Amino acid sequence: MGRYPENYKRIQAEISNMLGNDLLLSSEERSRDRLLRVRKGMAHILSEVFPLIDDPKNKNSITGWKPLAVSVAQKP
């Protein structure tokens, strides 16, 4: 698979399943729906992925992005 890990396709399928949405929505509803999906994804990253990261450099990088991503997901 080259530069991707062995389980790359499985992980991408899980993400698509978690965040995917094929509903027909108005532009306002679509915007709100996207923010809710971002919020759901961030909750997953923070509660399930982040605790498993052992490399301090990677953990610090994610820690720096976390407040911004959370603030975007919480805006009405």
Do the domain assignments include residue 2?
Answer: no
How many structural domains is the chain composed of? 1
Q: Is 4 left (phi over 0), alpha (psi -120 to 50) or beta?
A: beta
- Model confidence at 18, in pLDDT bands (50, 70, 90)? low
Do the domain assignments include residue 1?
Answer: no
Where in the sequence is the domain holding 22, given as residue range(s)? 8-74
* Tokens 């407040």 found at: 67
23-69 pLDDT, tens digit each: 677 878 877 887 888 788 888 888 888 888 888 887 777 777 777 76
Do the domain assignments include residue 56?
Answer: yes
Do the domain assignments include residue 48?
Answer: yes
Do the domain assignments include residue 39?
Answer: yes
pTM, to two decimals: 0.50
Do the domain assignments include residue 69?
Answer: yes
Do the domain assignments include residue 51?
Answer: yes
